[in-house]
Amino acid sequence: MHAATPQFPRRLAKLGLVCLLAGGGLAKGAVQFDVFMGFAGKARQGEWFPVTFEIFNDGPTFDGQVELRPRFGDNPVYRYDVELATNTRKRFTLAVFADTNSGWSAKLKNGGKTVAKHDELRLNNSDPDTVLVGALSGQQAGGPVLPKTRFKSKWDNDRFAPRVAHLQLDTFPDDPIALSGLNALYLNSARAINLRTEQAAALSTWVLGGGHLILAVDQPGDVTSTPWLASLIRGRFGPVQNSAAGQALHRWAETGGGSDITLPAWQQLGAYPDVASPDATFAAGQLATAEVRLAKGEALFELDNRPVAAEANRGLGQVSVLGFNPEREPFKSWTNRAWFWARLAKVPAAWFEKEAPQQYGRSSIDGVYGAMLDSRQVSKLPIVWLLLLLAAYLVIIGPVDRIWLKRINKQMLTWLTFPAYVAIFSLLIYFIGYKLRAGQLELNELHIVDVLPGQQEVLRGRSYVSIYSPLNDDYRLGGSFEQGGIRSEYGGTSQGNMASSLRVQRAPGKLEASARVPIWTSRLLCSEWLAPANGGVTAALTKNGRSSYELAIKNGLDKAITGAMLLAEGKVTELELQSPPRSTRTLRIQTAASPYAEDEFGSISRGGRFQRAVNTRNRAFGDTESGRIDPEIMNLVSCSFPALLKTGENKAGHRVADFTSPSGLDLSAHAERGGAVLFLLVEAHAPIPSTGLFETKLGQARTLYRIPLEITKPE
């Protein structure tokens, strides 16, 4: 007993050390912090993408803050406040806009203390023109596959190949703005029934705002018994029965699609060049199919004289419905299934040629909106005057100084006169700059608002805000939105984000940001948001003849509608509309009489003038007026079709658009499908409180409502 006694303190110390280490490990592991970047790690440059956070707190309650920060570049810093009670799990999604493939770091903070972090978060970021298809498949290895590209350059194949992102149900975004970076989403009906209410609402809003949903019907009851899906699809299904696959799917996959709209070649479907010969094994197989009929839809192909696939416009978007499960045999082993998926996901044929069809250096449509909104207080110094000032400076510090000092025989005074000239010309240039650029704080807003249909109408808004600052300062922006995001102006693939020092702060029901604006400059930012419609403006369109329509408009706003245009079946018609506040009007329209009806749809495009304005706007010196665009109805409508604003060709010989735009803003594809949209311009009006959370005496607000319409026929 006595021999063992001296070892007791050492054993006690070791036990205490083990307990201390174990306690430290438990304390460190009390918070689980997981981050899921993009669409299964994928995203497109210059587009919104989701970042989903999942936090499990097994320790004491605390008010946490999540911070997402780029490791380099000018991407915004995002922060989200979240209350973390003991033994709770929180999952939320941030809509993030990025211009580069920069790395990211994420931290979870408790006050000034970092509780958990991830320093090496990365995205597989592709070109904005790349097709990205999301997939919520019924089976882990099921769903879409896309053909491989065969470009000459390996770099082009790596960057521009169409790709599929296989998503997980648990981390599927619950914010429709975060879904904007997808070209299409494949959804198996067996997965659809398990979506949470918030996820289903986000998916529906995304489709109505311009998204493309590809639904595979595993069982018709999955659709009819799911209210949100049935309301979106609006379809009727026949009983499931076996049908011989035959050649119908093969013929549909290899044929091209026609259109009355002249889109750039790199956006047209066309005929795929490398579709394999028919697969005899697949043709002899049996597919379990249900008949599919969609309201206001068209059949894609038939089996046994029954339409088993159909598509239809829904709002500004589209739904494509397959009356069979493509994750089962024999479709799963079909040789040409990749080409079938490419056709269904609207992948243009140009992506499977030898030369990548993209055009480098295209500008973003943001620059056109900036040319409309930038402060008119600011003028630029013409190049001629700049050259004259430079010439005068060189003449004075050179021959003039030498001649008059020599005349007074005081050449040594050049040590005094030279700095004096520099100071005088510096003050002169500052005075000229002050006279040209100094002004008062100004805030100009342009709201591009889509009125989305549904059981409850929703406004999907994009609020462009131009801030002119008379000093170096930070300005607060934001609003009370459950879902949304704020981004800086995007200049295109070659320029990226045009403004740095943007910090976005999110909390439940609240969106705020702080943006730095340098002295005597304008900065453009864009807030994207969702809000209830509250019956502000509504419309209905009835077709009475080949080019004859009747349009009923109800203006429930407190402002008059000052401009209107109608897109219907590929034609744009400017309307003579007098619509005072709280009024109802019915118009009879002849689209054949429109000055834009005889020419191609691209006749509204003003790409060359818009491009010149954007280029001039980005220069420090030059002609002031050529860098400005009037925010009139025609210019605003043209900006809703950036794919048609084209003047040049790429190296493959394809005419391409001059401008890119974030998904959902461009309505060119909707026009190509024969969709109808009513554009209404309202001056001195905003559908939401001002995005600028600061006081200013100068500024104006305009709103362009874009209302998707279903064309009905009189009974």
* Average pLDDT for 155-174: 91
pLDDT at position 620 over 80: no
* pLDDT score of 296: 93
- Amino acid code (one letter) for 624: T
* Average pLDDT for 638-649: 76
Q: Closest Cα to residue 302, out of 348, 238, 259, 258? A: 238
Query: Which residue would you say has higher pLDDT here, 698 or 656?
Result: 698
* Average pLDDT for 105-131: 90
Alpha-carbon gap, residue 301 to 320, rounded angstroms: 12
- How do residues 188-236 score in pLDDT, each as one tens digit? 999 999 999 999 999 999 999 999 999 999 999 999 999 999 999 999 9
Show Cβ contacts of residue 394 under 8 Å, excluding neighbours closer than 6 positions: none
- How do residues 74-101 score in pLDDT, each as one tens digit? 788 999 999 999 999 999 999 999 776 6
Alpha-carbon gap, residue 162 to 148, rounded angstroms: 8
Query: Which residue would you say has higher pLDDT here, 104 or 433?
Result: 104
Q: Extract the tokens encoding 689.
A: 């409180």
Q: Closest Cα to residue 49, out of 102, 105, 93? A: 93
Show Cβ contacts of residue 374 under 8 Å, excluding neighbours closer than 6 positions: 444, 466, 468, 522, 524, 617, 627, 628
Alpha-carbon gap, residue 236 to 220, rounded angstroms: 9
Q: Closest Cα to residue 432, out of 393, 375, 474? A: 393
pLDDT at position 164 over 90: yes
What pTM does this model have?
0.88
- Is the Cβ–Cβ distance between 443 and 698 less than 8 Å? yes
Alpha-carbon gap, residue 93 to 80, rounded angstroms: 10
* Average pLDDT for 343-365: 81
Q: Extract the tokens encoding 209.
A: 């705002």
- The 10 Å CB-count burial string (b at 16+, else e) for 451-464 is bbbbeebbbbbbbb
Kindly indicate the confidence band of residue 662, based on its pLDDT and cuts at 50, 70 and 90. confident
Cα–Cα separations (whole angstroms), residue 496 to 128, 363, 367, 527: 12, 10, 12, 17
How deeply is 556 buried, as exposed, middle or buried, from its count of CB atoms within 10 A (0-12, 13-18, 19+)? middle
* pLDDT score of 385: 75
Q: Which position has the token pair 């024969």? A: 674
Alpha helix (H) residue ranges in 209-264: 220-224, 227-233, 248-254
Alpha-carbon gap, residue 414 to 398, rounded angstroms: 10
Q: Return the H-helix or E-strand segment holding 460.
A: strand 458-469
- Is the Cβ–Cβ distance between 319 and 330 less than 8 Å? no
pLDDT at position 599 over 50: no
Alpha-carbon gap, residue 464 to 448, rounded angstroms: 8
- How do residues 37-77 score in pLDDT, each as one tens digit? 999 999 998 899 999 999 999 999 999 999 999 887 778 89
Tell me, what DSSP letter sits at residue 277? P
> SS in 3 state form for 27-58?
HHCCEEEEEEECECCEEECCEEEEEEEEEEEC
* pLDDT score of 260: 41
Show Cβ contacts of residue 29 under 8 Å, excluding neighbours closer than 6 positions: 58
- How do residues 542-564 score in pLDDT, each as one tens digit? 998 888 999 999 999 999 999 99
Q: Extract the tokens encoding 439.
A: 């002004």
* pLDDT score of 427: 87
* Highest mean pLDDT, choosing among 107-111, 578-582, 655-659: 107-111
Alpha-carbon gap, residue 178 to 105, rounded angstroms: 19
pLDDT, the chain, mean:
85
* pLDDT score of 654: 52
- Is the Cβ–Cβ distance between 687 and 536 less than 8 Å? yes
Alpha helix (H) residue ranges in 396-531: 401-407, 414-437
* pLDDT score of 5: 42
pLDDT at position 519 over 50: yes
- How do residues 446-473 score in pLDDT, each as one tens digit? 999 999 998 778 999 999 999 999 999 9
458-469 and 442-452 as β-strands: parallel, antiparallel, unpaired? antiparallel
